Chains A and B, each alone.
Chain A
Amino acid sequence: MLKIKIAKRRDGFALDAQFEVPTPGVVALFGRSGCGKTTAVNIISGLLAADSAYIELDGHVLTDTTAGIAIPPEQRRIGYVFQDGRLFPHMSVLRNLEYGLERTRASQPAITVDQIVSLLGLEQLLRRQPYQLSGGERQRVSLGRALLSQPALLLLDEPLAALDASRREEVLPYLERLRDNLSIPMVYVSHQFEEVLQLATHVVLMDAGHVVAQGPLSQVSLVPQLRAIVGPDSVGAVVDGVVTSVDTSCGMAVISVGSGLLNVSVPRVSVGDRVRVQLLARDIILATEEPRGLSVRNQLRGVITSVVDDEDDARLVTVDVGGCNVLSRVTRGAVEALSLQSGSSVWVLVKAVSTRGHAFRLGSG
C-alpha cells in the first residue's frame, strides 16, 4: 500500500492531495499540465519539501512532518525517471546504468544489469555516450538506471512527454514489459490519457492541486470530471476482461466482460490474457428492444443506472451490463423518444471495429 497525504503552497498555487493505492501496481497521476502532479512526485521522492506530508510505502514511513520524519532522497530507495532523462553526460550508457546499482546496499541485487539490458533492449547502446542516443533510447537508459538502483517504488514523471509520437510508440511497450515482469510499484505522471489507458492499474485524477477521483481505471473512467480533462470525444467507460477466444486472421478476440461477451479488435493476444478496452461513449448505441439484422457484433443486455446532462443537447447514460458499467452519449431527443431513465432495461450495441486502437493487452493470466 502506498499512502500519500501532502500539502504545499507556493506562489498562489496550492497542492493538497491525498490518496491510497495498492502495491504493486501502476498508479497514474493524471491531470492537466500544471495541476500539481510533478510537485507531488517531487515531494514523494523527497527532493522537494512539503508544508505538511505523510508518505508511507508498504508499512515504511518515509515522510511524516508531524513526527519530524524525513528520510533523505538518497536513502529512500525510490527510483525517479525524469521527463528529460537526466543521463550523466560524462558517463557511458553502461556507467550510467551502474551508477545507482553501485550505491545500493544489496549484496545480491534482485535486478541485474543483464536483466535490464535484455528487458529494455540496450545491448547495442552500452558503450555509447548519452549525446549519441535518440530521445527514446535516452528514456530507456534512464528507466534502466532507475530500476538498477533496486527501488522499492518507481516514479515516472511524464517520461514520454519529450518524445514525438513514433518515439512514444517505441518506448511504451518497454514500460508494459516492466509492469508485467517486475513487481515494482510505479507512480506514473501523465497528461496523456492513452498512456494511462495502456499502463495504469489505478488512477488518481488531479485538478488544480486536488484529487478529484481515485480508484481502478474502470471506476475513474466513469467520473464526470474526466470529460473536462480528456475532452468530450475521449469520454468512455474502460472495461477489463479476459480473452475467451481469438480469431488471429482478423486480429479480433472475444473477451468476457461483466456477464456478457465482447468482440474487440486487439492484436497479439491469446486465450487467458487480460485485455482492457475503452468503449467510447460516442460510439455506443442503445436500443430498447433486441435489434435484429444489424452488422453490430456486440449486443449486451443491461440496466440504466443514471442519465445525466452532458454537452449542449446530449445526455450521458450509464448502463450496468452485469456488474460492469458502460457509458453512452445520446441526444436529448433520443432519451425522450425512448423514455430512457434509471431502471430501464436496454440493449447496448458496440461495433467491434470501433474498439480498434482502444484495446490493449494487460498481461497474461
Chain B
Amino acid sequence: MHLTPAELDALRLSLSVAARSVLFSLPFAILIAWLLTRGRFAGRWLLDALVHLPLVLPPVAVGYVLLLLFGHKGPIGGWLETHVGIQLAFSTAGAALATAVMAFPLMVRSIRLALENVDPGLEAAARTLGAKPLDRFVTITLPLIVPGVIAGAVTAFAAGLGEFGAVITFASNIPGITRTIPLALYTAIQSPGGDDQALRLAVMSFVLGLIGLLLAELLARRARQRVGR
C-alpha cells in the first residue's frame, strides 16, 4: 500500500503528537502517581478525581476547557504568548497537549499500579543503608516501576494516536499542522466520494494501534524479566 503525501503527513503528525504528549506528560504522571500512592495530604481524593476526569468527560468538553485556559485570551495561553512566545491553540504542540491530557489517566493508572507493588520495606532497607529520599527514589523505586512506566507510556502513546475530540476542539483540523489520522479520517468521511480514503485511513489506525499494544506487552515483559519477576 502506497501512502499519499496527505496520508504521510497525517501519519507523521499522529506519531509526533502522540510521542510529544507522552514525553511531556511522563514526568508529571510519575509525580502524580507517587503522590497518590505515597502522599499523605488532605486533598488527595480531589487530585485523584481531577486526574481521572478526562476518562469520563466528553473529549470535546476537555478540548473546550483547554481552549478557555490555553487559548488566545485564556489566562495561561495569553501569558504564554506574551511572555514566552508560544502559541498552543491551533498548533501541533497544542494537539500534543490535548492528547496528553486525554491519555494522562491511563499513564497514571499504570504507574500507580506499579508503585503499589513496590515493597516499602525495600525503601526502608535502602534508608538504613544510607540512601536519602531522592537517592532511594532513583535507585530503588524508579527501576522497580519501569515495567509499569513503560506499559503506561506505550498505552498512552497508542491511545494518543487516535485522540480526536479534544484535538479537533482545541487545535482544530489544519492539514499538515494538526490533521492527525483520526482527523483526516473524519474529513474523508465528511467529503463526498471519500469512502476509499476513509477506509485506507481506518486500516492505518488499526495497524498502528495493534503495533502499539503488542509493543507495550513486549517491552513490559522484557522489563519484568530484568527485575526478576
5 pairs of A and B residues whose beta carbons are closest in the complex: A103-B130, A100-B129, A86-B125, A131-B228, A80-B128
Interface status of B140 (Cβ within 8 A of chain A): yes
Residues 40 to 79 of chain A near chain B (Cβ within 8 Å): 45, 47, 72-79
| Interface residue tally for chain A (C-beta within 8 Å) | 28
Complex CA gap A100/B127 in Å reads 9
B130 to chain A, nearest CB (A): 3
Closest residue to A95 on the B side, CB-wise? B139
- Cross-chain pair count, CB within 8 angstroms: 66
Closest residue to A48 on the B side, CB-wise? B124
Known: A88-B140, A89-B144, A90-B228. A47 touches B129 (CB 8 A): no
B122 to chain A, nearest CB (A): 6
B residues whose Cβ falls under 8 Å from a Cβ of A: 119, 121-122, 124-132, 135, 139-140, 143-144, 226-229
Known: A84-B121, A90-B144. A73 touches B127 (CB 8 A): yes
Q: Are B228 and A86 in contact (CB under 8 A)?
A: no
Q: Are A86 and B122 in contact (CB under 8 A)?
A: yes
Known: A47-B124, A82-B121. A90 touches B227 (CB 8 A): yes
Provide 21 A-B residue pairs closer than 8 Å at the C-beta atoms, listed in order of the A residue: A47-B128, A73-B124, A73-B127, A74-B129, A74-B130, A80-B125, A80-B128, A82-B125, A84-B121, A86-B122, A89-B122, A90-B143, A90-B227, A99-B129, A99-B131, A100-B129, A104-B130, A129-B228, A131-B228, A146-B128, A146-B129
Q: Are B131 and A89 in contact (CB under 8 A)?
A: no
Residues 248 to 282 of chain A near chain B (Cβ within 8 Å): none
Q: Per a CB cutoff under 8 Å, which of B129, B132, B139, B228 touches A89? A: B228
Residues 129 to 143 of chain A near chain B (Cβ within 8 Å): 129-132
Interface status of A145 (Cβ within 8 A of chain B): yes
Q: Which residues of A contact B128 (CB under 8 A)?
A: 45, 47, 73-74, 76, 78-80, 146, 149
Closest residue to B121 on the A side, CB-wise? A86
Q: Which residues of A contact B125 (CB under 8 A)?
A: 80, 82, 86, 88
Complex CA gap A185/B227 in Å reads 34
Q: Which residues of A contact B140 (CB under 8 A)?
A: 88
B40 to chain A, nearest CB (A): 14
Q: Are B121 and A88 in contact (CB under 8 A)?
A: no
Complex CA gap A82/B124 in Å reads 10
Q: Which residues of B contact A74 (CB under 8 A)?
A: 127-132
Interface centre among B122, B128, B144, B228 (most CB of A within 10 A): B128
Q: Are B227 and A89 in contact (CB under 8 A)?
A: yes
Closest residue to B124 on the A side, CB-wise? A47
